[in-house]
Amino acid sequence: MIAAIGFGALIGILLGLLGGGGSILAVPALVYGAGLTLAAAVPTSLLVVGVSSAFALLPRVRAGLVRWRIAAIVGGTGAAAAFAGAAVNRLLDPRLVLAGFAVLMVVAGWRMLGGADDSGGDCALPGGGVNWRGCLPKSVAAGLGVGFLTGLFGVGGGFLIIPALVLLLGLTMLAAVATSLVIIVVNSAAGFAAHAGDAAIDYRITTAFTLAAVAGSLAAGRLAGRLPTPRLQRVFAWLVFVIAGFVAIQAIVDPVTA
């Protein structure tokens, strides 16, 4: 229980500071920290990440940072793709899923180390408008890709959504963080619905994990504007590399049964 509270707070802090990233740690934290099976950890992680992301979103909504139309397109297509990812998840050996998850974590860490450049694009023209002819297909493609990974690995997808929104769609970092939280909430809800019947959820652990994550996200959200995001991203990237190595080793020497 103590481990669940500690990991929950860490995930909430990362969501509150970066608008994503904490979700990638939720599954290994629930499996190796709280002792859940992979089948139970996936829907539990989606529930925790969805709720804590909703709380982290509130101050960004008040600040008017969310790009709602883009969030609706990416989130809507992602919600549909999450069911396909969940279907593939059921066909794979848990060790293979964890190994794939470790690879995804390495990719995410590398992207975080690379940083982001607010260079503009079809979805964020210099004058503040949107070129929907170019923005719409990019938004749909981003939603399908992130949504599938959400269902497959049980992650909210913020660590993939933010680079996609900034590098592919051209949003500023502040707008990308706020918009990603909306998409994470939508994708997490769809992924949870797709996985909810796979295993019994331990509501005692889930409640403790969720409350700690919400508290962490609210506390960190107040500090987000005062701390250097690039430095936080680099620290998080190296943390992801360490966790990825641990998950890969565990998938080989201590397979998790569903």
The number of CA neighbours under 13 Å toward the Cβ of 68 is: 2
Residue 147 confidence (pLDDT) above 60: yes
Other C-beta atoms lying within 10 Å of the C-beta of residue 151: 29
Model pLDDT, residue 120: 61
Q: What is the pLDDT of residue 117?
A: 52
The residue among 175 and 68 whose pLDDT is bigger is: 68
pLDDT-based confidence at residue 211 (cuts at 50, 70, 90) = very high
Please check the confidence at residue 69 and state whether its pLDDT lies above 60. Answer: yes
Average pLDDT, the chain: 80
Q: Give the DSSP letter of residue 35.
A: -
Q: What is the pLDDT of residues 171-206, one digit of tens each?
A: 877 788 889 888 888 878 888 887 777 777 888 888
Write out the two tokens for 217.
Answer: 């996200």
Tell whether the model's pLDDT for residue 140 goes beyond 90.
yes
Nearest-angstrom CA–CA distance, 239 and 245: 10
In this prediction, residues 51-69 reach a mean pLDDT of 88
The pLDDT value given to residue 257: 44
Report whether 95 contacts 207 (CB < 8 A): no
> Which residues lie below 8 Å from residue 141, measured CB to CB, with a gap of 6+?
none
**CA gap 223, 52 in Å, rounded:** 16
Percent of the chain beyond pLDDT 90? 7
